[in-house]
Amino acid sequence: MSATDIQDDYNERLGIVKRLTALFFASAVLLTLTACSSGDASTSSESSAGYTVEVDELDVTAVPEDYPLIPADEFAAAFEELIGGRDTFEKLVREFYVGVATDEVLLPMYPEQPDLEGAIQRLTGFLEQYWGGPSTYSQERGHPRLRMRHMPFKVNPDARDRWLHHMRNALDTLELPPLYDAEIWAYLDRAAHAMVNTFED
């Protein structure tokens, strides 16, 4: 099923989700307002649990019209196509390694440096596969086993933060719609934190 076919099936659901999202936040604001005895209700309200609802920042129209509301397995394939496929991931990864190439902590983790082309192709293939593209990465390299592959290297919070810094800069160059950007960034952030294997400096 192509991304176009999927969108035809789920366009109506997108409108429903937008309306439900608006209703949810409106309900949250009402509940927090009734639970508070003070505060500026026009901009935010804080509940007894300490949570703040920023009313002015709510914008359900920020959901792109082509955002797929589909099961997870079909979502990945549709998402990969919608953002531009392998070309987009390769652009992301190449820009990421521009930062890595000058990073005194991360660069030594690549035995083949300063030639990073192999690393570029591996990460591009992994991301392409993760987001629903061809399974070439696993066919060539087996199960990703990300934590195992990173165990020989000292991945501490500093290395993690440097990795995220370069990846954030690279992702910004793609100028994706905010929801697509957030979808990718959420995964990258989780993955980076999962790779930490030591807290030694």
Report if residue 200 sits inside a domain. Answer: no
**Are 90 and 51 part of one and the same domain?**
no
Sign of the Cα pseudo-torsion (155, 197, 73, 9, in order) = negative
Q: How far apart are CA 117 and CA 144, in angstroms?
A: 19
Residue range 137-163, pLDDT digits in tens: 999 999 989 999 999 999 999 999 999
**Are 90 and 173 part of one and the same domain?**
yes
Q: Indicate the Cα dihedral angle 54, 55, 61, 67, nearest 10°.
A: 40
**Are 63 and 118 part of one and the same domain?**
no
**Are 30 and 89 part of one and the same domain?**
no
**Are 103 and 25 part of one and the same domain?**
no
For residue 201, what pLDDT band results from cuts at 50, 70 and 90? confident
Report if residue 124 sits inside a domain. Answer: yes
**Are 62 and 83 part of one and the same domain?**
no
Q: What is the pLDDT of residue 79?
A: 86
Nearest to 195 by CA among 162, 158, 146: 146
Say which residues have a Cβ less than 8 Å from residue 118's Cβ, sequence separation at least 6.
112
Instruction: Determine the structural domain holding residue 45 and report its residue range.
Output: 3-67
Q: What is the DSSP string of 80-128?
A: HHHTTTHHHHHHHHHHHHHHHTT-TTTGGG-TTTT--HHHHHHHHHHHH
| Number of domains present in the structure of the chain | 2
Report if residue 128 sits inside a domain. Answer: yes
**Are 38 and 118 part of one and the same domain?**
no
Q: What is the pLDDT of residue 102?
A: 97
Identify the DSSP state of 8: H
pTM (two decimals): 0.65
For residues 119 and 110, the answer to whether their CB atoms sit within 8 Å is yes
Q: What is the pLDDT of residue 7?
A: 53
**Are 7 and 50 part of one and the same domain?**
yes
**Are 92 and 39 part of one and the same domain?**
no
Rounded to the nearest 5°, which phi and psi values hold at 50? 95, 5
3-state secondary structure 23-62: HHHHHHHHHHHHHCCCCCCCCEEECCCCCEEEHHHCCHHH
**Are 98 and 31 part of one and the same domain?**
no
In this structure, what CATH number is given to the domain that contains residue 132?
1.10.490.10
Residue range 15-50, pLDDT digits in tens: 544 454 444 444 444 444 444 444 444 444 333 334
Peptide bond into 114 cis (omega under 30): yes
* Residue at which a domain ends, from 67, 90, 110: 67
